[in-house]
């Protein structure tokens, strides 16, 4: 049994706290003091109705309390909160290995999470990303699933995959950190596109085409950044893409569905109640793709819709009107 400090008490952080609590001692920290108080008193997160945290999960208000005696820091915040959490590790627990479960590029810099970690912790610090097809509600409910733990060393990934793995959450070790992070980030953008497509009732054929061509975009972008092709056909790649583009629990897909109804983005995000990582990530991916000379028409279309340069219908019609080309 290990002591794990989980930083981030949203739906996903709470779900992982519950999932790992059977084998490990968990300290769960979050920024929102009201939510922390509610978690302590009711053992329930309002984002996960009907799910109860066991008493063995300690809900703490200070990061120092979470780090005390910890053997691992698991950061489960949105990408926007990753840097500050890594900085806290560097200042308060500099030898603590780190795994993160956020999926996106940093707004304003376009950096992947491991780039941020290198800046805050150094290139030699043991780190990994936990990613793959997984909805918080299902993991919290104990439904079976499988994800990838991709580390900057395969030994580190293997060790923690074995420690965190259990009968309801199968964890595969890998060392393609870049490929896993790219897959997790871009699939959220493509889920918005798929939501728009479905919201406009373009049909299942169009959805399948969009997902397939979206996978080609993920692969081109990931290879350009140094990822490995096999990653994009695995759990972190096509597995997470299919789930996020088709599952009704996908918040990014719900953003696309609402955009197709003509609703304003600010209103959608307020009503959603969760962070939809695909929204800030779309601009960063589109910008980096242009810098790298990588063709990503679906991503560019989503970025144009989110920035009010195109209506959802015009974006889809522009994609359909593209000249035919050799598949690849």
- Helix H, strand E, coil C: the string for 28-87 is EECCCHHHHHHHHHHCCCCCCCCCCCCCCEEEECCHHHHHCCCCEEEECCCHHHHHHHHH
> Is 187 noted as a catalytic residue in this protein?
yes
- What DSSP string describes 73-130? EEE-S-GGGHHHHHHHHHHH-TT--EEE---S--TTT---HHHHHHHHH-TTS-EEEE
CB-CB contact of 194 with 245 (8 Å): yes
User: Percentage helix, strand, coil, to 5, in the chain?
Assistant: 55, 10, 35
CB-CB contact of 107 with 39 (8 Å): no
Q: Which two tokens stand for residue 168?
A: 């309801």
- Residue in 103, 111, 187, 325 annotated catalytic: 187
- Write out the catalytic residue numbers: 187
């Amino acid at each position: 049994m290990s002591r794990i400090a989980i930083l981030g008490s949203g739906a996903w952080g709470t779900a992982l706290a519950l999932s790992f609590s059977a084998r490990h001692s968990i300290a769960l920290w979050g920024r929102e003091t009201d939510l922390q108080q509610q978690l302590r008193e009711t053992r329930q997160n309002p984002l996960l109705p009907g799910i109860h945290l066991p008493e063995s999960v300690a809900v703490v208000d200070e990061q120092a309390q979470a780090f005390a005696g910890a053997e691992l820091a698991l950061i489960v915040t949105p990408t926007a909160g990753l840097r500050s959490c890594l900085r806290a590790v560097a200042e308060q627990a500099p030898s603590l290995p780190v795994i993160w479960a956020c999926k996106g590029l940093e707004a304003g810099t376009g950096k992947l999470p491991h780039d941020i970690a290198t800046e805050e912790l150094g290139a030699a610090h043991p780190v990994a990303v936990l990613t793959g097809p997984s909805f918080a509600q299902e993991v919290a409910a104990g439904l079976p699933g499988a994800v990838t733990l991709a580390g900057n060393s395969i030994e580190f990934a293997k060790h923690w995959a074995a420690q965190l793995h259990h009968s309801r959450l199968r964890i595969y070790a890998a060392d393609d950190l870049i490929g896993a992070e790219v897959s997790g980030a871009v699939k959220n953008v493509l889920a918005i596109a798929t939501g728009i497509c479905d919201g406009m009732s373009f049909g299942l054929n169009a959805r399948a085409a969009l997902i397939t061509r979206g996978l080609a975009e993920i692969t081109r972008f990931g290879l350009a950044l140094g990822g490995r092709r096999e990653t994009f056909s695995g759990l972190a790649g096509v597995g997470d893409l299919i789930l996020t583009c088709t599952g009704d629990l996908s918040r990014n897909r719900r953003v696309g569905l609402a955009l197709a109804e003509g609703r304003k983005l600010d209103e959608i995000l307020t009503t959603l109640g969760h962070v939809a990582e695909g929204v800030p990530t779309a601009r960063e991916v589109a910008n980096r793709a242009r810098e790298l000379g990588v063709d990503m028409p679906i991503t560019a279309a989503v970025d144009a819709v989110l920035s009010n340069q195109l209506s959802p219908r015009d974006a889809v019609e522009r994609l359909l009107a593209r000249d035919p080309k050799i598949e690849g």
